[in-house]
């Protein structure tokens, strides 16, 4: 019988009441007295030298209050990169300054070089258009193609970086010779060159920011679309604006999706704060949809050559990759970590492969910055690996299921140290593979294929067995690897006098359902109703600290911090109960919401203890402080390693090249599951995004660096009819061994495991149709590309 | 994008050449053009209003003539700024050669768009540019040689009676 409350119950998402009834409060919904409106002036060329900006006409237009250009921010700091990567030769990566507003040069279409503040949005917009007309930018040749960028020393995105190279990273460099030797000795080598297509995150809510300044106190407030308000506060206050952190409050209210793109600090946030101070009025800015396409951090954009050395029987002996990773025009906050430590460290996959070497060159181009997007580096690793394994199976005529089974790590091998530096704590990859085979009815595939064929369609089946490292991460480890921040988290559990609870968490919910799940956990542990627990997040003035939500870390890290704070509450409750019940503290046990004396029927309810803590008439005041509120910080002992097996079935129309995903099975191991319904929803969303990447989405820049896909008419988001009903399972659970909840994280899984399963299925369909000349099709596997492959 | 085409015009190369260099002809023949000023030597200033897919804008910009081989060849380059709509720039290399029927006019066009035009209109820009070029040279042909014989409907369509009367006006002017 499934539980109907607490841990493991599919409690309904309480936040949906406000979301589904239009009662959410997003940044753009915040309306303040005397607010002014900002409009950014953005470059229409990809690369150019700013010759002249004449602000006089724009400044004189009706309603205009202020005009800012890059010059106004020349003295403040740049938006920093959060992770230092050293090149193979030991030199540190190149870090060009990323200014609030472009100064001297514009470096991508959409690069903001000025901003206009006016009484109304329309006035600001009109003046911004005037300013654009009064600006002279000398267009320079655009650097778009990564191979050309590193080959052309003369044409530079940043004048001080001659080859447009940010870093040339080897992982693990010391293993390179051994990997080369293993590859050379391998009986068979499979080579695949592939592109991991650039994606625009396209959160439903565009970015928005409101700056406030109180001249009476010197306090700033930033309301913004952020996945991590404390990190934004740190970046904008300490690094860019030079504001003391105690004088800046950052609030991220309801946020309509982020997928990574709202982790980062953007220049508009500093701009509205500076403008608010200058004018003594609140200043607001909201991106238009096309501005989001132009200026949000994009995702993926790798060009990879992967080689796999194996035996003729399909035993993997060595893997070697060379990747060009596009970082765009500037380094976004985690852009250097994404293609390196979130990518190279996963290149062993869930397999017992002895030799792995990864080389990544990060390249500056005249395109929007690229950073972590749902999955962040791990989808790129998984795609390369699962595609090349599929190619190996075809070259050697091996069964892809058997090849996976042969190479997967077995449960007795954990903890397992991979050749790329991670320690997988636990897993059972065979179990998820078996579960997927069962649920996907692999045995019945031939019959379904015959039925498709009768309708003139080619049916194919694709498999991907994926793993990720999430719940980032032990601070001491990421510190060694170059992270400039710690990656712990914090929570405060405040028990009110009447026994209900406010939890202040460092996680930020922007669609995930934390308000429901975190309450389930606290309610279960304290034996109180879920409705007695309120989750507070997204406000630096209310919550103790937090690194926010990304990398599937909220439950594993922030949830563990909260759990630790609950431990402290229970420990203090025992002390209070011991006093009230006149027993020894070690004789007090806590279960089902009651503190009781072992071996007796003497007990106090949680509510009675809470009341006593706040009305301490009968209370050990000489040894114990009144009140019942605890804060805990939690630094994880390791990454968590969710893994799973995905099976995709497609039908390809050989006449048109159209691909339909007709069945999709996802069997995942997320460790302990707190709310199955929400986990299932997370997998649905991730798989949908994965199918979007595989079949639909592509970010296209032309040779001049013009973004050709700047609207939903031009950028193909997956729609309801592009995805099938999913079969989702997470019963094969091996609980995480190092966090108290035993959870692993499920937010990114679908986006990681799905793309190779889809593409493998398309190739399978074409091979079954006799088109064995097709060995690879780059994503998005659009009808056009499939048709070309069929007829090429 | 790039495209090329050619067409035969029933007029002498000298007449065609004179028409190409005439700002009034350009104003009449560039679809959506409301104003052309200047001279072949100093270049022209042009103003063109066009709608590309969802983007409608008035483009103002300079038109320059280069690589001139008198009576034979000219490259017409232009860059138009459409304010918030972005910009369009490009060039047409026009070559003339005498043929039995009059003149063969060949052209090679290269066009680039930027800003909102690229972000929202790129999927239709190829077709749009081809139509612009077709319209231009059709109008140009008509301006130089008059409406095609027996093609009453063509003269009546387009912009109605006024433009119908104008067909072939340049030819009448110089013949």
Q: Indicate the domain borders of chain A.
A: 18-140+204-257+262-295, 302-473+638-791, 488-634
Over residues A77-88, the mean pLDDT reads 96
Cα separation, A668 vs A432, whole angstroms: 6
Cβ of residue A313 closer than 8 Å to a chain B Cβ: no
**What pLDDT score was predicted for residue B131?**
87
CATH architecture of A302-473+638-791: 2-Layer Sandwich (3.30)
Interface of A with B in 439-478 (CB under 8 A): none
**What pLDDT score was predicted for residue B3?**
85
- The two beta strands, A302-310 and A219-224, are unpaired
Residue A52 has pLDDT above 80, yes or no: yes
Assign B63 a pLDDT band (cuts: 50, 70, 90).
confident
Residue A560 exposed, middle or buried by CB count within 10 Å (0-12, 13-18, 19+):
buried
Residue B134 has pLDDT above 90, yes or no: no
Over residues A580-592, the mean pLDDT reads 96
Residue A213 has pLDDT above 80, yes or no: yes
Q: Among partner residues B112, B119, B123, which is closest to A707 by beta-carbon distance?
A: B119
Cα separation, A356 vs A176, whole angstroms: 8
Q: For A261-280, write each residue's pLDDT tens digit.
A: 999 999 999 999 999 999 99
Residue A1 exposed, middle or buried by CB count within 10 Å (0-12, 13-18, 19+):
exposed
Between chains, do B113 and A706 touch, taking CB under 8 Å as contact?
yes
Cβ of residue B83 closer than 8 Å to a chain A Cβ: yes
| DSSP code, position A749 | H
Q: Compute the C-alpha angle A479/A567/A487, nearest 5°.
A: 15
In chain A, residues with a C-beta closer than 8 Å to the C-beta of B122 are 702, 706, 708-709, 714
Q: For A215-274, write each residue's pLDDT tens digit.
A: 999 999 999 999 999 999 999 999 999 999 999 999 999 999 999 999 999 999 999 999
In chain B, residues with a C-beta closer than 8 Å to the C-beta of A702 are 112, 118, 122
Cα separation, B101 vs A283, whole angstroms: 68
**Bridge partners of A494?**
A502, A629
Residue A3 has pLDDT above 50, yes or no: yes
**What CATH code is assigned to A488-634?**
3.30.365.10
**What pLDDT score was predicted for residue B148?**
56
> What is the CA A611 to chain-centroid distance, rounded?
41
**What pLDDT score was predicted for residue B160?**
42
Residue B142 has pLDDT above 50, yes or no: yes
Assign A545 a pLDDT band (cuts: 50, 70, 90).
very high
**What pLDDT score was predicted for residue B152?**
46
Size of interface A-B (CB pairs under 8 A): 54
State residue A565 phi and psi, 5-degree precision: -65, -35
The dihedral over CA atoms of A134, A140, A144, A150, expressed in degrees to the nearest 10, equals -140
In chain B, residues with a C-beta closer than 8 Å to the C-beta of A45 are 114
Of A337-351, A469-483, A542-556, A575-589, the one with minimum mean pLDDT is A469-483
**Bridge partners of A697?**
none
Cβ of residue B86 closer than 8 Å to a chain A Cβ: yes
Of A256-260, A680-684, B5-9, B52-56, the one with minimum mean pLDDT is B52-56
Q: For A377-415, write each residue's pLDDT tens digit.
A: 999 999 999 999 999 999 999 999 999 999 999 999 999
Assign B175 a pLDDT band (cuts: 50, 70, 90).
low
The token pair at B48 is 């063109």
Assign A487 a pLDDT band (cuts: 50, 70, 90).
very high
Residue B157 exposed, middle or buried by CB count within 10 Å (0-12, 13-18, 19+):
exposed
Q: Among partner residues A129, A133, A711, which is closest to B119 by beta-carbon distance?
A: A711
Over residues A321-338, the mean pLDDT reads 98
Q: Do domains A18-140+204-257+262-295 and A488-634 have the same CATH topology?
A: no
Assign A359 a pLDDT band (cuts: 50, 70, 90).
very high
CA atoms within 13 A on the CB side of A611: 7
Residue of B81, B113, B116, B118 for testing the chain A interface, max A β-carbons within 10 Å: B118
The CA distance from B73 to the nearest CA of chain A, in Å, is 28
The token pair at A747 is 């937010």
In chain A, residues with a C-beta closer than 8 Å to the C-beta of B123 are 708, 713-714
Cα separation, A759 vs A769, whole angstroms: 15
Assign B172 a pLDDT band (cuts: 50, 70, 90).
low
Interface of A with B in 583-622 (CB under 8 A): none
Return the sign of the alpha-carbon dihedral for residues A66, B117, B113, B119.
positive
Q: Which of B149, B142, B133 lies closest to B165 in space, CA to CA?
A: B142
**Bridge partners of A676?**
none
Assign B164 a pLDDT band (cuts: 50, 70, 90).
very low
Between chains, do A133 and B81 touch, taking CB under 8 Å as contact?
yes
**Bridge partners of A41?**
A114
Residue of A706, A712, A716 for testing the chain B interface, max B β-carbons within 10 Å: A706
**What pLDDT score was predicted for residue B159?**
43
The CA distance from A700 to the nearest CA of chain B, in Å, is 10
**What pLDDT score was predicted for residue B158?**
42
| Closest residue, chain A, to B123 (C-alpha) | A714
Give the largest Cα separation in chain B, rounded: 48
| Closest residue, chain B, to A708 (C-alpha) | B119
Cβ of residue B116 closer than 8 Å to a chain A Cβ: yes
Q: Give all strands of the β-sheet with A594-597 in edge-to-edge order.
A: A588-591, A594-597, A603-605
Residue B121 has pLDDT above 90, yes or no: no
Q: Among partner residues A293, A294, A708, which is closest to B122 by beta-carbon distance?
A: A708
Element (H, E) at A728: strand A726-729
Residue B166 has pLDDT above 60, yes or no: no
Element (H, E) at B19: helix B13-20
| Closest residue, chain A, to B121 (C-alpha) | A708
Cα separation, A343 vs A362, whole angstroms: 13
**What pLDDT score was predicted for residue B162?**
47
| DSSP code, position A624 | S
How crowded is residue A494: how many other Cβ atoms within 10 Å of its Cβ?
18
In chain A, residues with a C-beta closer than 8 Å to the C-beta of B115 are 44, 109, 706
Cβ of residue B81 closer than 8 Å to a chain A Cβ: yes
Between chains, do B119 and A702 touch, taking CB under 8 Å as contact?
no
Over residues B75-88, the mean pLDDT reads 86
Cα separation, A64 vs A89, whole angstroms: 52
State residue A485 phi and psi, 5-degree precision: -130, 160
**Collapsed DSSP state (helix, strand, coil) of residue A494:** strand
**What pLDDT score was predicted for residue A236?**
96
In chain A, residues with a C-beta closer than 8 Å to the C-beta of B118 are 109, 702, 706-708, 710
**What CATH code is assigned to A18-140+204-257+262-295?**
3.90.1170.50
Query: What value does the mean pLDDT of chain A take?
Result: 97
Question: What percent of chain A has pLDDT above 70?
Answer: 100
Assign B169 a pLDDT band (cuts: 50, 70, 90).
low
Assign B83 a pLDDT band (cuts: 50, 70, 90).
confident
| Closest residue, chain B, to A709 (C-alpha) | B119
Q: Which of A130, A135, A121, A111 lies closest to A39 in space, CA to CA?
A: A121
Q: Among partner residues A109, A704, A710, which is closest to B120 by beta-carbon distance?
A: A710
Assign B174 a pLDDT band (cuts: 50, 70, 90).
low
Residue of A40, A41, A44, A701 for testing the chain B interface, max B β-carbons within 10 Å: A44
State residue A199 phi and psi, 5-degree precision: -120, 145
Residue A639 has pLDDT above 90, yes or no: yes
In chain B, residues with a C-beta closer than 8 Å to the C-beta of A704 are 112, 114
How crowded is residue A369: how many other Cβ atoms within 10 Å of its Cβ?
26
Between chains, do A704 and B112 touch, taking CB under 8 Å as contact?
yes
How crowded is residue A236: how many other Cβ atoms within 10 Å of its Cβ?
30
**What pLDDT score was predicted for residue A327?**
98
Are B98 and B118 within 8 A, CB to CB?
no
The CA distance from A690 to the nearest CA of chain B, in Å, is 24
Cβ of residue A704 closer than 8 Å to a chain B Cβ: yes
Q: Which of A510, A167, A203, A483 lies closest to A333 in space, CA to CA?
A: A483
Residue B122 has pLDDT above 80, yes or no: no
Between chains, do A714 and B119 touch, taking CB under 8 Å as contact?
yes
Domain ranges of chain B: 2-146
Give me the count of residues in chain B.
Answer: 175
The token pair at B157 is 């369509």
**What CATH code is assigned to B2-146?**
3.30.530.20
Cα separation, A675 vs A509, whole angstroms: 15
Pure H helices in A55-207: 56-59, 121-133, 146-151, 176-185
Between chains, do B120 and A713 touch, taking CB under 8 Å as contact?
yes
| Closest residue, chain B, to A292 (C-alpha) | B119
Give the largest Cα separation in chain A, rounded: 86
Residue A62 exposed, middle or buried by CB count within 10 Å (0-12, 13-18, 19+):
exposed
In chain A, residues with a C-beta closer than 8 Å to the C-beta of B83 are 129, 132-133
Residue A614 exposed, middle or buried by CB count within 10 Å (0-12, 13-18, 19+):
middle
């Amino acid at each position: 019988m499934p539980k109907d409350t607490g841990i493991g119950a599919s409690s309904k998402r309480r936040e949906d009441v406000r979301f589904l009834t239009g009662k959410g409060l997003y940044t753009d919904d915040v309306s303040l007295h005397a607010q002014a409106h900002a409009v950014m002036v953005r470059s229409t060329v990809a690369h150019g030298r700013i010759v002249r900006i004449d602000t006089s006409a724009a400044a004189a237009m009706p309603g205009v209050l202020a005009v800012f250009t890059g010059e106004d921010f020349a003295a403040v700091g740049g938006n920093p990169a959060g992770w230092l990567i050293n090149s193979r030769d030991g030199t540190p990566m190149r870090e060009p300054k990323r200014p609030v507003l472009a100064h001297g040069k514009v470096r991508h279409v959409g690069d903001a070089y000025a901003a206009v503040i006016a009484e109304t949005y329309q006035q600001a917009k009109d003046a911004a258009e005037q300013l654009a007309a009064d600006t002279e930018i000398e267009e320079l040749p655009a650097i778009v193609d990564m191979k050309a960028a590193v080959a052309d020393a003369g044409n530079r995105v940043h004048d001080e970086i001659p080859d447009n190279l940010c870093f040339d990273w080897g992982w693990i460099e010391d293993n390179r010779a051994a990997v080369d030797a293993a590859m050379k000795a391998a009986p068979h080598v499979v080579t695949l060159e592939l592109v991991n297509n650039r994606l625009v995150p396209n959160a439903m809510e565009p970015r928005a920011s409101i700056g406030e300044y109180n001249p009476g106190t010197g306090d700033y407030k930033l309301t913004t679309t952020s996945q991590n308000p404390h990190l934004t506060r740190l970046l904008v206050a300490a690094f860019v604006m030079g504001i003391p952190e105690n004088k800046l409050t950052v609030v991220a209210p309801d946020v309509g999706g982020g997928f990574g793109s709202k982790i980062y600090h953007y220049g508009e946030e500093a701009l509205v704060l500076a403008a608010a101070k200058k004018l003594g009025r609140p200043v607001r800015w909201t991106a238009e949809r096309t501005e989001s396409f132009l200026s949000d951090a994009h995702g993926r954009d790798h060009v990879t050559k992967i080689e796999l050395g194996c035996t003729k029987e399909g035993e993997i002996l060595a893997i070697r990759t060379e990747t060009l990773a596009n970082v765009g025009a500037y380094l976004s906050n985690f852009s250097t970590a994404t293609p390196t430590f979130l990518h190279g460290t996963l290149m062993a996959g869930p397999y017992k492969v002895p030799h792995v070497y990864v080389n990544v060159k990060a390249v500056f181009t005249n395109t929007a910055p690229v950073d972590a997007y749902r999955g962040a580096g791990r989808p790129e690793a998984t795609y390369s690996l699962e595609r090349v394994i599929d190619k190996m199976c075809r070259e050697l005529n091996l069964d892809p299921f058997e090849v996976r089974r042969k190479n997967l790590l077995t449960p007795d091998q954990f903890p397992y140290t991979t050749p790329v530096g991670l320690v997988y704590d636990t897993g059972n990859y065979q179990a998820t593979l078996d579960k997927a085979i069962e649920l996907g009815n692999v045995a019945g595939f031939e019959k379904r294929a015959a039925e498709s064929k009768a309708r003139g369609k080619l049916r194919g089946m694709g498999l991907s067995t994926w793993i990720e490292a999430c719940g980032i991460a032990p601070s001491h480890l990421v510190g060694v690897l170059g992270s400039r921040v710690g990656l712990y988290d914090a929570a405060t559990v405040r028990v009110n006098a009447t026994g209900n609870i406010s939890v202040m968490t460092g996680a930020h919910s922007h669609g995930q359902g934390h308000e429901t799940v975190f309450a389930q956990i606290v309610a279960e542990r304290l034996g109180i109703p879920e409705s007695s627990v309120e989750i507070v997040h997204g406000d630096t003035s209310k919550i103790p600290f937090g690194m926010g939500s990304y990398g599937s870390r909220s439950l594993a890290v922030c949830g563990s911090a909260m759990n630790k704070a609950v431990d402290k509450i229970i420990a203090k409750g025992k002390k209070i109960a011991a006093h009230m019940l006149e027993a020894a503290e070690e004789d007090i046990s806590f279960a089902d919401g009651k503190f009781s004396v072992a071996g007796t029927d003497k007990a106090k309810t949680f509510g009675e203890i809470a009341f006593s803590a706040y009305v301490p008439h009968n209370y050990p005041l000489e040894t114990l402080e009144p009140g019942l509120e605890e804060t805990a910080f939690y630094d994880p002992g390791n990454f968590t390693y969710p893994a799973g097996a995905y099976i995709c079935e497609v039908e390809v129309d050989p006449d048109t090249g159209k691909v339909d995903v007709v069945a999709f099975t996802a069997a995942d191991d997320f460790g302990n599951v707190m709310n199955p319904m929400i986990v299932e929803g997370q997998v649905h969303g991730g798989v949908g995004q994965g199918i979007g990447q595989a079949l639909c989405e592509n970010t296209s820049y032309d040779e001049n660096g013009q973004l050709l896909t700047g609207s939903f008419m031009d950028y193909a988001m997956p729609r309801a009819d592009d995805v099938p009903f999913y079969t989702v399972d997470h019963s094969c659970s091996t609980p995480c061994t190092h966090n108290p909840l035993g959870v692993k994280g499920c937010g990114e899984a679908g986006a990681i495991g799905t793309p190779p399963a889809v593409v493998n299925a398309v190739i399978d369909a074409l091979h079954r149709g006799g088109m064995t000349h097709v060995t690879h099709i780059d994503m998005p596997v659009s009808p056009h590309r499939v048709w070309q492959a069929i007829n090429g | 994008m790039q495209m090329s085409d050619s067409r035969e015009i029933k007029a002498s190369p000298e007449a065609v050449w004179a028409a190409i260099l005439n700002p009034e002809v350009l104003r009449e023949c560039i679809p959506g053009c409301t104003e052309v000023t200047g001279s072949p030597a100093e270049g022209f200033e042009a103003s063109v209003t066009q709608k590309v897919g969802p983007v409608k804008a008035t483009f103002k910009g300079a038109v320059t003539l280069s690589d001139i081989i008198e009576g034979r060849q000219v490259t017409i380059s232009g860059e138009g700024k459409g304010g918030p709509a972005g910009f369009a720039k490009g060039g047409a290399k026009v070559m003339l050669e005498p043929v039995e029927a009059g003149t063969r006019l060949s052209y090679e066009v290269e066009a680039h768009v930027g800003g909102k035009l690229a972000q929202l209109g790129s999927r239709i820009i190829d077709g749009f540019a081809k139509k612009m070029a077709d319209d231009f040279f059709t109008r140009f042909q008509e301006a130089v040689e008059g409406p095609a014989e027996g093609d009453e409907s063509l003269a009546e369509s387009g912009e109605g009676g006024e433009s119908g009367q104008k067909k072939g006006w340049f030819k009448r002017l110089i013949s």
